[in-house]
Amino acid sequence: MVAPTHDFYHVGSGVTAYVGRSAPGLVLAGTWVIGGDSITDPDYQSGPFFQMFSASRKPPKVLRNTAQFGRTLQQLIDTFASEVAVLSPDNYAVRIGQNSLANTEAQFKSQYLQIIDLIKNAGIFGVMHALTPNGNGPLVIARNSWIQSVCDADPDNLLFVNDAVDLGNINYVAIPAYYDAELVHPLAIGNRIQSRGKLLEAYDAFL
């Protein structure tokens, strides 16, 4: 039997300790939509988000997981209005770009910025998740560094979550034990490591 707990406690030092999303001033409370490709697809590989949200004391209200297998940056642009904006969420957590790594650097950045503009213009807070390790560590590191720089420059509207570092080695190359044979999709153990590590750590302040 689960014992009920309070939303806050008065500790000996006189400080009020808040629990979960009961703390005042949390910018990421509210409703959520999740987006991305097969790594986040609810019918394929959404373990990190489900496990992480379940681990929070007050799981957020997820309106829909819109991620789809094989989705590219351009496809997300094309479907944003009908799948995300129409739901008017407070927050949009998205991991996208893995299927667009073959794009030129200019194409990748242009399309990613279009997504960010769509999010901001819809009045939604964007939580942009890092691309996961694969067989091309340097390229993914470069893309993630750029995404982080864009988010860091606009903290009122964007947050970068670098939650996949534990799935790769020092060069951000996928650790085989955590992945499928193609080194693309994390296995159950990879999902667990991710959801209980950097992913939960990043959201812990808000949930």
> How far apart (Å, rounded) are the C-alpha atoms in residues 146 and 151?
9
Give 121-131 pLDDT, tens digit per residue.
Answer: 999 999 999 99
pLDDT-derived band at 48 (thresholds 50, 70, 90) equals low
pLDDT-derived band at 3 (thresholds 50, 70, 90) equals very low
Selected residue with higher pLDDT from 198 and 164 = 164
Q: What angle do CA 98, 164, 156 make, to 5 degrees?
A: 85
* pTM of structure: 0.81
| Residue that the structure tokens 């560094």 belong to | 145
Give 124-150 pLDDT, tens digit per residue.
Answer: 999 999 999 987 889 999 999 999 999
- Alpha carbons within 13 angstroms on the beta-carbon side of residue 131 total 28
Task: Calculate the CA 1 to chain-centre distance.
Answer: 32
Instruction: Using the predicted structure, report yes or no on whether residue 163 has a pLDDT greater than 70.
Output: yes
Helix (H) or strand (E) holding 33: strand 31-36
Q: Which of 48, 50, 12, 39 minimizes the C-alpha distance to 134?
A: 39
Neighbours of 46 (CB within 10 A): 18
Q: Which residues contact 137 (CB under 8 A, 6 or more apart)?
A: 168, 169, 171, 172, 173
Selected residue with higher pLDDT from 111 and 56 = 111
What does the block give as tokens for 172? 């951000």
Tell me what the mean pLDDT of segment 94-109 comes to.
96
Tell me what the mean pLDDT of segment 44-61 comes to.
62
Predicted local confidence at residue 2, as pLDDT: 42
